[in-house]
Amino acid sequence: MPPPVHRFATVLAAMCLLLAGCTHYASVTTEPPGAKIEAPPDLIVQDGRIEARTGLAESYVVHVSAPGYRTREFVIQRTYRADLSLFLLLFGIFPYFMSARLDEEYHFPLARMGEPTPPPTSAPGTDD
């Protein structure tokens, strides 16, 4: 039987590997509906949702466009949560810092050409 330290290190390594591969989803709505969303390669956008892997905290710039509307950039962030993810602290500090994920929902409003751009808000999915 391996010593307790080796067992703990094995469990910690397994948790990190499992978390690094976890996928989560965020729903996306746009104004107008069906606007084109361009995201970095490590985010997958399809069927009204964004697919991403958990990992370290990170920001992404997303471009949203539609014919007859001004293209806008939005910043979305993968952040840590004070929820069930805190359970990971029982296994050490490192697994928790591999658990950052996107918000559950984003809304990307666009302005028609010639109209003022909607004001920024602090709600998820809007540029600050």
Burial of 105 (0-12, 13-18, 19+ CB in 10 A): middle
What pLDDT sits at residue 2? 54
Q: What is the mean pLDDT of the chain?
A: 76
Beta bridge partners of 78: 58
Angle at CA 9, nearest 5°, toward 4 and 12? 125
Q: For residues 21-29, give the mean pLDDT.
A: 81
Task: Give the start-to-end residue ranges of the domains of the chain.
Answer: 4-109
What values do phi and psi take at 44, rounded to 5? -110, 125
* pLDDT band (50, 70, 90) for residue 122: very low
Check residues 107 and 121 and name the one with the higher pLDDT: 107
- Cα–Cα distance for residue pair 90/16, rounded to 1 Å: 13
